[in-house]
Structure 1
Amino acid sequence: MTDYAPGQATDINPQLWTWFRAVDTDGSGQLTVDELQRALINGDWSPFNIRTVHMMINMFDADNSGTIGFSEFTSLWVYIEEWRRCFQTFDRDGSGTIDRQELTQALRAFGFNVSEKSVAFMIQKLDRGSHSIPFDSFVRTCVIFKSITDSFRAVDTDQDGYIQIGYDQFLDLVIRQI
């Protein structure tokens, strides 16, 4: 059953509601991973990577249903639009993708002390053969770096940039990112 009906609230974006209904192909009022992937498009009209879509559902599925209702979709949409503005700021050449240099600048602007090697590795893992990444991979990269950094900082109690951990604690840190 849908979590919104026309006339229910006055602050509903009618265009967003129309888009939600259009991609909710089974009419359930909840977007599955496949339906959400159809709703999320990169600047080059390619769909979001399925792993990014899964990450978005994990982040915004407030009721843990495994799907996204309209209110969750609205929150997700606002989040994505904020990231899109950020992406456009760092896509200095207007190519619609972020290259290694642009990604390094973005991550450092967000306060992440990243090496060129780490950024190059991330680009290599996420690019589609172009040595740059589209919007969805940019969002995924930033969320991953934030999550990993937050996990590291939680263990780095003296905040000196170094930690000493055992194998089980290391696995716990890594598995949380999956």
Structure 2
Amino acid sequence: MFGAQTPGGGMYPGFGQAGPTPISPEVQQWFQAVDKDHSGQINWEELQSALINGQGEHFSPQACKLMIGMFDTDKSGTIGVTEFQLLYNYINQWLAVFKNYDRNQSGSIEEEELGLAFQQMGFRFSPEFIKFLIARSDLKDHKLMSVDQFIVACVQIQRLTEQFRQRDKEMKGVISLPFEEFLSIAINCTT
């Protein structure tokens, strides 16, 4: 969940957004605590200051930028309280999945656990692809993935999956793209 500095202590199969709902008092309280400059908007730096991973470190800038980008509909680099509530809900969904597979509560998961987590979300990735995801996120020993790295992987996979599904009209699991379109999709989905 969020770090100790704050009060109160269509993504992929099984994870979707509901329609607009009233802002919960808990979310409103978190939002006000995270909005350090009291602008009514949260940028990635403010979000980063509130999020702590299992190793006691702040989430990476990449993770925070990707999370803000998911809900930043006007491309201002910030989100308001309504978008924050959506982000809050997503973070808690990802954390629930992550914690379910971080059985030793180390703040990181291994290959097998990551594969099971993605299976729970409806993906059937090969062991080679899971190894690739971990190697890409864990620059030290290529064996573990922290919660913020997990969220980065989930956001990128969600964005790429959405783009793929839009182009897979016949739902065959195969698409053809011009190279520049592929690059545009990949760059937009991973930044």
Shorter chain as normaliser: what TM range? 0.7 to 0.9
- Provide structure 2 residue ranges, at least 5 long, that are not aligned to the other structure: 1-21
C-alpha distance after superposition, 1:47-105 (max 9, x if no partner): 11111111111112244432123333233222211221111112233322111111111
Q: CA–CA distance in 2 between the matches of 1:54 and 1:76?
A: 12
Matched, 1:83 2:86: no
- RMSD over aligned Cα, in angstroms? 2.4
Equivalent residue for 1:54? 65
- 8 Å contact from structure 2 (residues 23, 82) kept in 1: no
Q: CA–CA distance in 2 between the matches of 1:25 and 1:17?
A: 13
Q: CA–CA distance in 2 between the matches of 1:150 and 1:11?
A: 27
- 8 Å contact from structure 1 (residues 19, 39) kept in 2: no
Runs of 4+ in 1 over 6 A off after TM superposition: none
Q: CA–CA distance in 2 between the matches of 1:20 and 1:38?
A: 12
Q: CA–CA distance in 2 between the matches of 1:124 and 1:157?
A: 32
Instruction: Tell me the SS of whatever aligns to 1:177.
Output: helix
Equivalent residue for 2:51? 40
- 8 Å contact from structure 1 (residues 20, 39) kept in 2: no
Instruction: Tell me the SS of whatever aligns to 2:189.
Output: coil
Give TM-score, length-normalised by structure 1: 0.79
Q: CA–CA distance in 2 between the matches of 1:21 and 1:144?
A: 28
Q: 2:118 aligns with which of 107, 112, 117?
A: 107
One-letter identity of the residue aligned with 2:83:
E
Instruction: Tell me the SS of whatever aligns to 1:176.
Output: helix
Instruction: Tell me the SS of whatever aligns to 1:46.
Output: coil
The number of residues matched between the two structures is 168
One-letter identity of the residue aligned with 1:142:
C
Equivalent residue for 1:4? none
Mark the structure with the bigger radius of gyration.
1
Q: How does 1:2-151 map to 2 (within 5 A)?
A: 12-13=24-25, 16-130=27-141, 131-151=143-163
- 8 Å contact from structure 2 (residues 111, 130) kept in 1: yes
Give TM-score, length-normalised by structure 2: 0.74
| Residues 23 and 166 of structure 1: CA distance in aligned 2, closer, same or farther (over 3 Å) | closer
| Residues 156 and 65 of structure 1: CA distance in aligned 2, closer, same or farther (over 3 Å) | closer
Equivalent residue for 1:167? 179
